[in-house]
Amino acid sequence: MSLTCPTYAKVNLYLHVTGKRDNGYHELDSLICFARTGDVLSFEVADDLSLDVTGPMAPLLEGDVEDNLVLRAARKLQTLCAIDQGARITLAKHLPVAAGIGGGSGDAAAAIKGLCSLWKVFPDPAGLQDLALSLGADVPICLKAHAAHVGGVGEVITPVYPLPACWMVLVNPMVGLSTPAVFKARRGDFTPDMTMQGEYDFETLVQELSVRGNDLMAPAIELAPVIETVLSALADQTGCALVRMSGSGATCFGLFENENDANSAVEQIKQAHPDWWVSHGEIF
């Protein structure tokens, strides 16, 4: 038996740091969506657990396979379900790593989903969410894989109305950023909660996002100034209604109401910056 499970880029439409817990973890206020571009995981029944990484971004994960979130998720799922079944997992890696778009988290979430199907196990939902959170703050929302407001340290997930049909262009200058380093570089006060849970068309969505921001963008730019160049490249594109950095960077995004404008932006940015990673997809 074999099966395939796609993953999608996770994007913080806005991200506010609202506090810090005694254990050092930061509390967040964020509206998260997904764009239809990402990695692909394939699973086959096997006696042992193994992971093979292919695809254009595979070289960025060389030497890191045994500690990859996919295998960590698989081992934790084995423990949760008290089973010793194996699997041969192939990860076709298309998203950049350490990029602020939940590439590793999405892969871990897809591993959990795919292996539950492969192994025919049905864990308790609460236990599965705890497992996901133990792997990283973005894994629980990637496990759900739909637009939602995320609070706490990533564990408080509140569904939102479906987002309006629109397209997102994602750009990464192929600069990896450490999330702890970005948080460490952050200065200033915490931001009050500004939860978005209304029903929006494209225009009102952009208006609401425009009065919010990403509290990690300034420290990320301090660590990787090229982010400003990426933001400018997106802002110069016809039809781009909003530009912002996602997560802790360095990936930035532009929102487009028109798919043709998004397609055109991808081609123009690729031509101007052939060393950058550029992709796009409809959001959901």
Structure tokens belonging to residue 123: 């864990």
In angstroms, the CA 180 to CA 124 distance is 31
In angstroms, the CA 119 to CA 276 distance is 39
In angstroms, the CA 267 to CA 269 distance is 6
- Sequence-ordered list of residues with C-beta below 8 angstroms from that of 85, at least 6 positions apart, any chain: 45, 78, 119
Q: Which residues are part of the catalytic machinery? A: 10, 138
Question: Which residues is 88 bridged to in the sheet?
Answer: 44, 50
- CA nearest neighbour of 108 among 146, 154, 140, 155: 140
